[in-house]
Chains A and B, each alone.
Chain A
Amino acid sequence: MSLEYSPTMSDRADSGPTPAPSAEARLVAAARDGDRTAFGRLYERFSPMVHGVLLARIPRSEVDDLVQDVFLQAMKRLRGLRDPDAFGPWLAAIARNRARDHYRRRADTVELPEDLPAAAPHPEGDALAVLAALRRLPEAYRETLVLRLVEGMTGPEIAERTGLTPGSVRVNLHRGLQMLRGALGRSATP
């Protein structure tokens, strides 16, 4: 391993600290100081990301409750966040941890597959079948594709809010979609 200024971080690191706080940083600071409107705006902006991170990992019926739980946890810990511009990646990490906790706490239960055949057609049957296929993808592809296809976020938005580089998001989307097509039994070119 070279220690001579490895370029491995060069595409991730910023060019340097920026003195002017971003709009997001101002919202975080305001929420930290007790501003409910700011908290509401943060929720509006980031809840689709949190919802997608959780939906990629845990049963759908429990996602909504856990989205709220993640925000409650985050707000309690907000004073520990030193860099308000890192709010999105920080929140995404809390959501991923919360999803892992969910399974640890429910180790004694058996989750039914979401695409279990029903006696009557389910209005969300297609959605649940696709979601089941998504969940069989590698974690990073699964999460990025859920954010794009379910939550309707664009690639740049996913990068901005999760802290992934745009390059990683692009790779995740394209490779993930290719794998999803395979999983759904469709050809690579429709």
Chain B
Amino acid sequence: MSGDYLWDGSGEPDPEIQRLEEALRPLRGTRPAPELALPRPRPGFSLGGWNSLAAAAALLAAVTATTRAPYPAPGAGWDLAWLEGPSWPETRVVREGRLGVGEWIDTLGSRARLSVGDIGEVQLEPATRVGIVDAGRRRHRLSLARGVLHAMIWAPPGRFLVDTPSAVAVDLGCRYTLEVARDGSGLLHVEAGWVGIESHGRRSLVPAGAACPTRRGAGPGTPYVESAPDALRQALLGIDFGSDPRARRGSLDLVLAAAEERDALSLWHLLSRFDGEDRGRVYDRLAALVPPPASVTRAGILGGNAALRDAWWDELGLGSAEFWRTWTWSDSSDGASDPERNGR
């Protein structure tokens, strides 16, 4: 029963673990919460009271600095730690250094960790090649040529971008995994928050619990929830990256037949991937699963009205997409920046 005791304290106590607990207990933290200046609560908010106008102003200034002013970027590069061990979590830091803008690393058989300024960190799996494109004060940008990275970002949306050979991923906060194969294909898994991904005029918004494939020359595919059946995922691949119109239509038949309410995310994206009669079929299936708000009309959707599509998104229960709707690629040209094309 010692396993249960170690796990959750249940079962017969393990005397050795108890001895360790007793020995280590004096090391527990006991200090109370720090005094913290917080912004003034909104009128009517009821969880607690706080009236220091001066302190509120101080924190408001701090919050404004955090969200509007640039993040400090000491030095043009990020801290790099090389990790050693057979597999995570049996890893430890064996060497530390710094990766500058324009520099690339290949992790080969090792793992590594990059600190993204002070806005987050990226863990790199073995056989991963990355380079820093921008470590500026307002934007942090990494290029992933191949391999697997896990990103954890705590900055406001849009501050951290990852170029891949097939699309650009824009962090909308805060945790995801991105894989790139040697042929430039990619796969994005979002674990928390949202990630926007775009290239070649295609855009996808991927919320937590969903994934999205990408292909060189085509951009991002249609996102799907991780619990979607394999048949539906394969059919989406046929739609997104297939070249035969008849086969593509057959794939749409499969998706519409297999789709359930959980797949509203995929169907919503398909509204802009088809036109004409096929868009109408997507509309009908999505409307049956998640009825559109009264303001959204079939004619409007079939006519390609983006505002109506956005209004429908708000009914899907996937959170606000406001930031992503207004996002502009002011410094990323057509979206994807191809690391191989850049001589890497």
Query: Using a CB–CB distance below 8 Å, which chain A residues touch chain B?
Result: 1, 3, 5-6, 8-10, 12-17, 19, 30-31, 33-40, 43-44, 47-48, 51, 55, 60, 63-64, 67-68, 71-72, 75-77, 79-83, 85-86, 89-90, 93-94, 96-97, 100, 104, 123-124, 126-127, 130-131, 138-141, 148-152, 154-156, 163, 168, 170-175, 177, 180-181, 186, 190
Contacts and interface: CB of A to CB of B under 8 A. Distances in A.
Nearest to A181: B16
Given A9-B177, A35-B41, A39-B38, 10 more contacts: A13-B209, A16-B262, A38-B47, A43-B32, A51-B29, A76-B59, A79-B66, A90-B154, A130-B24, A131-B27
* A interface: dominant SS: helix
20 contacts: A3-B179, A3-B181, A13-B208, A13-B209, A19-B317, A33-B45, A38-B47, A44-B33, A68-B34, A77-B66, A80-B173, A82-B172, A83-B173, A83-B193, A86-B174, A154-B7, A154-B8, A163-B192, A172-B89, A181-B16
B329 interface: no
Given A3-B213, A16-B227, A68-B34, A97 B115 contact: yes
Interface string B43-61: 0010111100000100100
A43 B262 CA distance: 35
A76 B66 contact: yes
- What class of interface size applies to chain B in its complex with A? 35 or more
B9 interface: yes
A133 to B, nearest CB: 10
Interface stretch (B90-98, B295-303, B335-343): B90-98
Interface string B176-187: 010101000111
